[in-house]
Chain A
Amino acid sequence: MPDNKEKYAKLQAAIEKHKGERGAVMPVLQEAMTIFGYVPQDVQEMIADGLGVTLSEVYGVSTFYSQFSLEPKGEHIIGVCLGTACYVKGSQKILDKLSEELKIEPGRTTADGLFSLNATRCLGACGLAPVMMIGEEVYGRLTPDQVPGILDKYRTAQ
């Protein structure tokens, strides 16, 4: 796949850029996440080889931080804020509604690969609680009955 070749070339460039830098594993993993959307084993192997560290060190880091995913994610990533301000204002109900609508548990991706559903940490937009994000878009002051309509926007955009 030519598409993939390009991605690996980008990763190689990221490795070259950070090589020799102190603490390079995290920034390179972060770039790999942007390039691939997740960090499968071969990507981690390439990072380990490239930076001259062991695979177990890379794997140790990639599994420690919640930002790194070892599995591919859906096209639209939904994050429902479960920070305290959102929680006391009922964000659990928003998450439940999404779970019901998408027929998946939080942390999973729909079978069609369209949506991934996550419960996230505080997004720092507490003034708008309860809040969720779909991709970069922020939806605030939500009620559960707004959920289906919002999802439809992404479904019909296909």
Chain B
Amino acid sequence: MELYRSHVLVCGGTGCSSSGSAKLIERFEDQLKEKGLDKEVKVVRTGCFGLCEAGPVVIVYPEGTFYSRVKVEDVDEIVSEHLLKGRKVQHLVYVDHKTHESSVQKSLSEIGFYKQQERVALRNCGVIDPENIDEYIAFDGYRALAKALTEMTPEQVIQEVLDSGLRGRGGAGFPTGKKWQFARASKAEHKYFVCNADEGDPGAFMDRSLLEGDPHAILEAMAIGGYAIGADEGWIYVRAEYPIAVKRLEKAIEQAHEYGLLGKNIFGTDFSFDIHIRLGAGAFVCGEETALMASIEGKRGEPRPKPPFPAVKGLFESPTNINNVETLGNIAQIILKGADWFKSIGIPTSTGTKVFALGGKINNTGLVEVPMGVKLRTIIEDIGGGIPNGKKFKAVQTGGPSGGCIPASLLDISVDYDSLTSVGAMMGSGGMIVMDEDNCMVDIARFFLDFTVDESCGKCTPCRIGTRRMLEILERITQGKGEEGDIEKLETLAENIKSSALCGLGQTAPNPVLSTIKFFRDEYEAHIKEKRCPAHHCQALLNYEITDACRGCTACARKCPVNAISGTVKQKHVIDTQKCIKCGNCMATCKFGAIIKK
């Protein structure tokens, strides 16, 4: 292997790719060649670094200098200053949002965003080139598979996973070792090991980043799991919306075959295992395990009642184990380092770490991995760097369309499966969306119900009809047509749907409504009784007004699409609320902050 004195790591995750990181790599390579440095400095396209907010991100090692929002024009400077002369380019170095400190003197692990994180599942993301199996192997890759196949019985593998306390990261939090035990106990000629990479929760991209940043880790875990339960075939069901992940998985499978790490008689043992990929086609319900299997079989992705559980009768009628991507991301480490090491992270009932996709109204949007049991406040304030634009924190939504909102008063809650469930939210798959004072909680509930109504497969009535009724009520409320008794109606419908829907989709669909009613009942009441939206979000309940700060510049009147603004030049203007369609153009146009929403 050639040796380089410096490595330039450019993030090739989805966020950074979308803001042009591929062009950066080209430019770096051109410039390095031009300066004759291409034998000394290596450019690597890695998976996601996590801090998407600062993208496109470039890190220069060995210093660990963190450059943020790098543009193609900046590349020449980094090459000629940093890589040629050894001088860091001060003005491109990442500046911490919260402390306003430049990270020139710091390495990556000392930056606020990374300091409190602990990387187990994401250990290789942003570190290795995901398209190069040799790099994965250099970081202990496939050693766990070797250990499992040559030194452990399937039962010992299962025991290790069971002892680790690992619970499913796909939402339900079921102990992974238990699941493997059930699948092992089923006797059949063929068994399947399925990886759920459907990641449908809107606002979540943990699995995507893991697949894109470290695809071999998932393949290795599937082979270990296959050995443990006695499966000879693996399937990965991945969203069609994730083309980069699909490409890297295909490449990884090919490489693993070349190296004999997949296929016949792996490591010279009599264990053989193969992995296929199947693409989803845009249906949220296909993330549910029974629907997912129907979809792999090429059918409509409709769930079916359980039992029989997949461990007894799953894919193509055979015993099947199904695990989420992130769950699998922990397996190789558990086998290598042991259950005790894993248990030492987190808390007894929720061991290990959890990856969250932090998004919405937060300074450091991106991907974070923290030990279970940290305070929610640590994630929001320390790692996330707080709320932008001096706004006030209102709530954080976890668990997506199945989850709930956690208000400011509960920010000191411990982030683990049971604590989150106890307040009506849930761990879910790891989406964590922060909302500030400008977000209306009734509208957020409406947003999620709109999602479920659209994604309900229609097989069972409570979900198909019940969620639609709930949505209609929520739409009425946000349009200022709410009636006394609507909240109670929502609550009754919610309970009925929860207890009678066929699958997890319907059973959890009312959660966003129930949790917002629980913590933000006053907002519902303001909409219904006072026809007022406290967050000034619901258009139908808003009025725009011009204040005395108006200079009579006429800009707003010219921008108004319905000529609702009148007044003479240099004098205060007025809005005709009868004509006004509340588009907000005037407010966006005014340079003097003279237009307010009421």
Residues of A at the B interface (CB closer than 8 Å) are: 22-27, 29-30, 57, 60-61, 64-68, 82-89, 93, 120-129, 131, 138, 140, 144-145
Q: Is B95 an interface residue (CB 8 A)?
A: no
Q: Collect the chain A residues with CB atoms within 8 Å of residue B296's CB.
A: 23
CB-based closest 5 A-B pairs: A127-B52, A23-B298, A85-B359, A84-B203, A65-B281
- Assuming A88-B435, A121-B202, is B300 touching A60 (CB within 8 A)? yes
A88 with B283: CB separation less than 8 A: no
- Assuming A26-B295, A64-B300, A89-B361, is B439 touching A122 (CB within 8 A)? no
A64 with B279: CB separation less than 8 A: no
Additional A-B contacts beyond A23-B278, A85-B433, A122-B202 (12; CB < 8 A): A60-B299, A67-B282, A85-B203, A88-B444, A93-B584, A124-B241, A125-B14, A125-B15, A125-B52, A127-B359, A129-B359, A140-B19
Q: Which residue of B lies closest to A143 (CB)?
A: B588
A125 with B18: CB separation less than 8 A: yes
A65 to B237, CA, bound (A): 15
Q: Collect the chain A residues with CB atoms within 8 Å of residue B205's CB.
A: 122, 124-126
Q: Collect the chain B residues with CB atoms within 8 Å of residue A123's CB.
A: 14, 241
A121 to B452, CA, bound (A): 12
Q: Which among A64, A93, A122, A140 is the interface contact of B203 at CB below 8 angstroms?
A: A122
Q: Collect the chain B residues with CB atoms within 8 Å of residue A145's CB.
A: 588
Q: Which among A30, A128, A129, A131 is the interface contact of B281 at CB below 8 angstroms?
A: A30
A145 to B588, CA, bound (A): 9
B359 with A121: CB separation less than 8 A: no
A84 with B283: CB separation less than 8 A: no
A68 to B295, CA, bound (A): 14
Q: Is B447 an interface residue (CB 8 A)?
A: yes
A57 to B55, CA, bound (A): 45
- Mind listing 6 A-B residue pairs with CB under 8 Å? A26-B298, A64-B301, A65-B283, A84-B203, A124-B208, A126-B357
Q: Is B365 an interface residue (CB 8 A)?
A: yes
Q: Which among A26, A65, A86, A88 is the interface contact of B278 at CB below 8 angstroms?
A: A26
Q: Is B417 an interface residue (CB 8 A)?
A: no
- Assuming A22-B297, A122-B204, is B241 touching A88 (CB within 8 A)? no
A67 to B301, CA, bound (A): 13
Interface size class for chain B?
A: 35 or more
Q: Collect the chain B residues with CB atoms within 8 Å of residue A131's CB.
A: 18
Interface residues of B in 318-355 (CB under 8 A from A): none
Q: Collect the chain A residues with CB atoms within 8 Å of residue B280's CB.
A: 65, 67
A84 with B15: CB separation less than 8 A: no
Q: Which residue of B lies closest to A144 (CB)?
A: B588
Q: Collect the chain A residues with CB atoms within 8 Å of residue B444's CB.
A: 88
- Assuming A85-B365, A88-B444, A126-B359, is B55 touching A64 (CB within 8 A)? no
A8 to B397, CA, bound (A): 48
A45 to B211, CA, bound (A): 36
A22 to B283, CA, bound (A): 20
Q: Is B284 an interface residue (CB 8 A)?
A: yes
Interface residues of B in 206-225 (CB under 8 A from A): 208
B490 to chain A, nearest CB (A): 20
Q: Is B173 an interface residue (CB 8 A)?
A: no
Q: Which residue of A lies closest to B242 (CB)?
A: A124
Interface residues of B in 153-194 (CB under 8 A from A): none
Q: Collect the chain A residues with CB atoms within 8 Å of residue B279's CB.
A: 26-27, 30
Q: Collect the chain B residues with CB atoms within 8 Å of residue A140's CB.
A: 15, 18-19
Q: Is B240 an interface residue (CB 8 A)?
A: yes
B431 with A128: CB separation less than 8 A: no
A84 with B14: CB separation less than 8 A: no
A85 to B444, CA, bound (A): 11
B433 with A127: CB separation less than 8 A: no
A84 to B512, CA, bound (A): 12
A23 to B200, CA, bound (A): 22
Q: Collect the chain B residues with CB atoms within 8 Å of residue A86's CB.
A: 203
B203 with A30: CB separation less than 8 A: no
A67 with B15: CB separation less than 8 A: no
Q: Is B366 an interface residue (CB 8 A)?
A: yes
A24 to B296, CA, bound (A): 9
B433 with A88: CB separation less than 8 A: yes
A53 to chain B, nearest CB (A): 9
A88 with B299: CB separation less than 8 A: no
A120 to B435, CA, bound (A): 21
B241 with A121: CB separation less than 8 A: yes
A131 to B18, CA, bound (A): 10
B240 with A126: CB separation less than 8 A: no
- Assuming A27-B279, A84-B359, is B52 touching A65 (CB within 8 A)? no
Q: Which among A22, A57, A61, A83 is the interface contact of B316 at CB below 8 angstroms?
A: A22
A123 to B14, CA, bound (A): 9
Q: Collect the chain A residues with CB atoms within 8 Å of residue B15's CB.
A: 125-128, 140
- Assuming A22-B316, A64-B301, A89-B361, is B203 touching A126 (CB within 8 A)? yes
Q: Collect the chain B residues with CB atoms within 8 Å of residue A85's CB.
A: 202-203, 357, 359-360, 365, 431, 433
B298 with A22: CB separation less than 8 A: yes
A65 with B433: CB separation less than 8 A: no
Q: Which residue of B lies closest to A23 (CB)?
A: B298
B278 with A84: CB separation less than 8 A: no
B367 to chain A, nearest CB (A): 8
B361 with A88: CB separation less than 8 A: yes
Q: Is B12 an interface residue (CB 8 A)?
A: no
Q: Which residue of A lies closest to B20 (CB)?
A: A138
Q: Which among B19, B281, B439, B588 is the interface contact of A68 at CB below 8 angstroms?
A: B281
A30 to B280, CA, bound (A): 10
Q: Which among A57, A88, A125, A127 is the interface contact of B439 at CB below 8 angstroms?
A: A88
A131 to B19, CA, bound (A): 11
Residue interface mask B436-448, A partner, CB < 8 A = 1: 0001000010011
Q: Collect the chain A residues with CB atoms within 8 Å of residue B400's CB.
A: 84
A88 to B512, CA, bound (A): 15
Residue interface mask B416-443, A partner, CB < 8 A = 1: 0000000000000001011100010000
Q: Which among A24, A64, A67, A89 is the interface contact of B360 at CB below 8 angstroms?
A: A89
A128 with B19: CB separation less than 8 A: yes
A68 to B240, CA, bound (A): 12
B54 to chain A, nearest CB (A): 9
A84 to B205, CA, bound (A): 12
Q: Is B53 an interface residue (CB 8 A)?
A: yes
A68 to B301, CA, bound (A): 14
Q: Which of A67, A83, A85, A127 has the most CB of B within 10 A?
A: A127
A4 to B448, CA, bound (A): 42
Q: Which residue of A lies closest to B199 (CB)?
A: A124
Q: Collect the chain B residues with CB atoms within 8 Å of residue A65's CB.
A: 280-283, 301
